[in-house]
């Protein structure tokens, strides 16, 4: 295939790393690429918490407009930034192999510990991480930390907060591993849906053969099974960045296992469940988990959160 693949991406260093990573996978398959950068609403509004902005398409809307206009062939996203429902004619055609999905504590103080952090501020832009911190570490003070990773690291260096909670994948890809003081356990800080994987979105207007070839070169089958289940769970809950839901699926031979739930904004109430089904029933598993969480009181927590918006 001689056509050039136009790759749409945000302009942050991490987003560009992801775009170039996808470009390299395509180059190995003999495809030429062109990277097209743009700003999204999430990049422009940095002084407002996610919960107050309204997060539908916060980091994807402008990229999807370019897809719909035929100006790019694919858009590259952090899978955790993808809204639960896509617009008509748009689809996620592949997921890259998942990086470690853990949250991590990052600090310039090598001795920093959440369990001993009585008089310090921890920065995070995630409602999920904020709520889980309140649940397990109610003594820790939390403050908003928006911006790209380099901006947030600079804010921490300036003393705006003493530590941050971040996704391991982004920290690792930006070579900040030396500042990781703790890798948080997955059964405590269960990650956001899709955390650690890169999602490739395309439009049905792109030639099917081209989309299928891009998928062949970039998709990781095991990760796809897991994210299909996680995203079905998110879609059923109608969750987004402003809703503190979490889910992580894994393959155990031919069985797909998912652990997920929801937590109240004040961290006082957490509902979680663990279910499994055949891997071919990934979407059904995600929906089943959502229904179970609803039946355990998750619907009430979701209503309370939505009523605060």
pLDDT digits (tens, 9 = 90+) for 35-94: 999 876 545 444 544 454 445 455 678 888 999 999 999 999 999 988 888 888 999 999
Tell me the CATH architecture of domain 1-97+197-219.
3-Layer(aba) Sandwich (3.40)
CATH code of domain 103-183: 3.40.190.10
The residues, any chain, with a CB within 8 Å of residue 304's CB and separated by 6 or more, are 264
Phi/psi at 257 (nearest 5 deg)? -115, 135
Rounded mean pLDDT of 7-36? 95
User: What is the value of pTM for the model shown?
Assistant: 0.91
What would the pLDDT profile of 161-197 be if each residue is shown by its tens digit?
Answer: 999 999 999 999 999 999 999 999 999 999 999 999 9
Query: Is 221-309 a domain of CATH 3.30.160.40?
Result: yes
- Taking 80 as the threshold, does the pLDDT of residue 133 lie above it? yes
Catalytic residue among 43, 81, 103, 259: 81
The residues, any chain, with a CB within 8 Å of residue 269's CB and separated by 6 or more, are 263, 297, 301
Catalytic residue list contains 81: yes
Domain boundaries, the chain: 1-97+197-219, 103-183, 221-309
Candidates 247, 218, 220; CA nearest to 231 is: 247
């Amino acid at each position: 295939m001689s056509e050039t693949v136009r790759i749409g991406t945000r302009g942050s260093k991490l987003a560009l790393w992801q775009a170039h990573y996808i470009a390299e996978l395509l180059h190995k398959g003999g495809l030429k690429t062109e990277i097209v950068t743009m700003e999204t609403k999430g990049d422009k509004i940095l002084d407002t918490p996610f919960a107050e902005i309204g997060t539908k398409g916060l980091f994807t809307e402008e990229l999807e407009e370019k897809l719909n206009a035929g100006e790019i062939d694919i858009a590259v996203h952090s899978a955790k930034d993808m809204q639960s429902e896509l617009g008509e004619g748009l689809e996620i055609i592949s997921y890259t192999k998942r990086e470690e999905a853990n949250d991590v504590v990052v600090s310039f103080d090598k001795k920093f510990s959440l369990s001993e952090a009585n008089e310090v501020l921890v920065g995070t832009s995630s409602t999920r991480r904020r709520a889980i911190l309140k649940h397990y570490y109610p003594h820790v003070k939390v403050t908003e930390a928006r911006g790209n990773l380099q901006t947030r690291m600079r804010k921490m260096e300036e003393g705006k907060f003493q530590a941050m909670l971040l996704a391991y994948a982004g920290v690792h890809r930006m070579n900040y591993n030396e500042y990781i003081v703790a890798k948080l356990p997955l059964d405590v800080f269960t990650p956001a849906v899709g955390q650690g994987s890169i999602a490739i979105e395309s439009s049905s207007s792109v030639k099917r053969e081209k989309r299928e070839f891009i998928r062949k070169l970039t998709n990781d089958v095991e990760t796809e099974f897991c994210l299909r289940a996680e995203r079905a769970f998110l879609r059923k809950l109608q969750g987004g960045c402003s809703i503190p839901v979490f889910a992580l699926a894994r393959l155990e031979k031919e069985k797909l296992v998912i652990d997920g739930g929801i937590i109240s904004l004040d961290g006082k109430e957490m509902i979680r469940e663990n279910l499994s089904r055949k891997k071919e029933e990934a979407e059904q598993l995600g929906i089943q988990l959502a229904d179970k969480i609803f039946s355990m009181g998750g619907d009430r927590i979701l209503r309370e959160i939505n009523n605060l918006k």
